[in-house]
Structure 1
Amino acid sequence: MEATYREYNIRLSIDSRLEQVRVLSGALRGIGQELSLSEEQLGQLELMMVEAVNNVIEHAYQMQHGNDVQVRVEYSPQEVHLVISDQGHAMPDALHTETREMPNPDDLPEGGWGMGLIHLLADSIRYSRDAKGNHLHVSKQLT
């Protein structure tokens, strides 16, 4: 008999305040525990999400409160996919190009370390911008 599983598509939203990132982190931790993710998997997902959301608040919204930061968590037994969305300033091209190495600190604008960590931890990463805003897609394989 084939095992059954549920796929999840969970949406979270916070105001663009750094102090609300901790609440978002706690929500992701609860979701990960409910889905029986390992501590390592959950820690990596949490770090990627926190770095991405902090970047949105600091750079896309330039620390201005009153803006929406959305995180979508998509789960299947094979992977967890996070989509971080905002309507702030676009991400510089140099920060979202595919790389598996930490960037040279001399070449980084302020905030580039967070994206470097995300690139190291994610199995896939994609950035897009459309009429609805900016969307950073990061995925972590579970199998």
Structure 2
Amino acid sequence: MVNAIFSNTYLSSLEASRTVSNDIREYWGALNISEDIINEAELCLVEMVNNTYEHAYLNQEGSLIEVKSYLQTENILLIEISDYGYALNTNGLAQQIPDDFITPEKDKPETWLTSGRGFLIVEQLMDSIIYENKDGKNTFYLSKRLS
């Protein structure tokens, strides 16, 4: 029997996203979620954990990252990523998602930059992203339909 909720804490670091990914893939697999959905959800989770390390904690190691995941309904996977670092500014999530995506071009190295694309990737792969800052705790809620 699979635990109803995956819940674990991690310390911020460059390697944290890989550790989270390895831990949660097993949980999602036990829920019989399709490999395609697992891969998409994993990519989004890795992006968000990396953003937490880089932006909320300014690349400082050893700060708390909380990750939860569960089936909100039989058909909706929910992922929560929380931290206690710097919050998004008052414009919040909408300002973080670029209006346009620059497609990398072989002969134009300036288009190869990956910075700033994480939220766009998450926004395109997940069905919803909600951000909340409450009592010094930042939480992103990502949801994904399973069918």
**AA matched with 2:118:** G
Match of 2:36 in 1: 40
Match of 2:86 in 1: 89
Q: Distance in 2 between matches of 1:92 and 1:111?
A: 18
Query: How far off its partner does 1:68 sit?
Result: 0.3
Q: Distance in 1 between matches of 2:3 and 2:16?
A: 27
After TM superposition, the structure 1 = structure 2 runs for residues 1-143 of structure 1, keeping only pairs within 5 Å, are 8-75=4-71, 76-92=73-89, 96-97=93-94, 103-104=99-100, 111-143=115-147
Query: How far off its partner does 1:43 sit?
Result: 0.4
**AA matched with 1:67:** S
Query: How far off its partner does 1:20 sit?
Result: 2.3
Q: 1:142 to 1:105 in 2, by over 3 A?
A: closer
Residues 13, 68 of structure 1: 8 Å contact kept: yes
- Gap runs ≥5 in structure 1: none
Residues 9, 65 of structure 2: 8 Å contact kept: yes
Q: Distance in 2 between matches of 1:64 and 1:6?
A: 34
Render the CA deviation track for 1:22-62: whole Å, top value 9, x for unaligned.
11101111111111111110001101100000000000000
- Gap runs ≥5 in structure 2: 103-113
Q: Secondary structure at the match of 2:15?
A: helix
TM-score, normalised by the number of residues in structure 1: 0.83
| % same residue | 29
For this pair of structures, how many residues does the alignment match? Answer: 135
Superposition RMSD in Å: 2.6
**AA matched with 2:26:** G
Q: Distance in 1 between matches of 2:92 and 2:121?
A: 11
